[in-house]
Amino acid sequence: MMTSDDLYDAIAAEAAAFAAACVKQQELRALFLAGEGRDHSLFIAARAGVRYATERLESKERLEGVPQGETLEGIDAWLEETFGPIQPARCVQRAKEEMDELEEKDCLDVEEAADVVICMLHYPGVVEAIQHKMVKNRRRRWRLVGDGTGYHIKEGEPG
């Protein structure tokens, strides 16, 4: 039978593995984006390692009863309960502050990226708008840039 100390040690070990995988993923991504690491499969493998470590850590957290598996709606509700209503302009301003922090870290800090998204989830009505917009996006045709981004092809434009 596992004691709480054993469980704590196991969670700490998984957290360390997760942190190491995150660092490796960020290093590979940086090399890939800088043109020094053309083997995108290494970045994909590192991302898979991070996902695996996350899943293992989350399964251990469930044993301790730690809430996990956040939804957009749940985050939105928490933001509203914690901070109260927000004006759209202030929401955008706050997200820009978080974006500045992300850029200061060479766009490689995934937690700063999460802060940007969390800030924007407080924008009034955005959770519902995301659902609506994704229905539209999935129906569109896309012109791929080749760097992981793209632009939708407007009606009547050649593909």
DSSP string spanning 117-144? Answer: HHHHHTSTTHHHHHHHHHHHHHHS-EEE
Tell me, what's the pLDDT at 124? 95
| Whole-angstrom distance, CA of residue 152 vs CA of residue 141 | 6
| Whole-angstrom distance, CA of residue 68 vs CA of residue 143 | 36
> CB 123: neighbour CB atoms within 10 A?
19
Mean pLDDT of 13-27: 63
Dihedral of the CA atoms 32, 37, 42, 47 (nearest 10)? -20
Mean pLDDT of 52-76: 67
Between 139 and 25, the higher pLDDT residue: 139
Mean pLDDT of 133-159: 92
Q: Does 115 have pLDDT greater than 90? A: yes
Tell me, what's the pLDDT at 66? 46
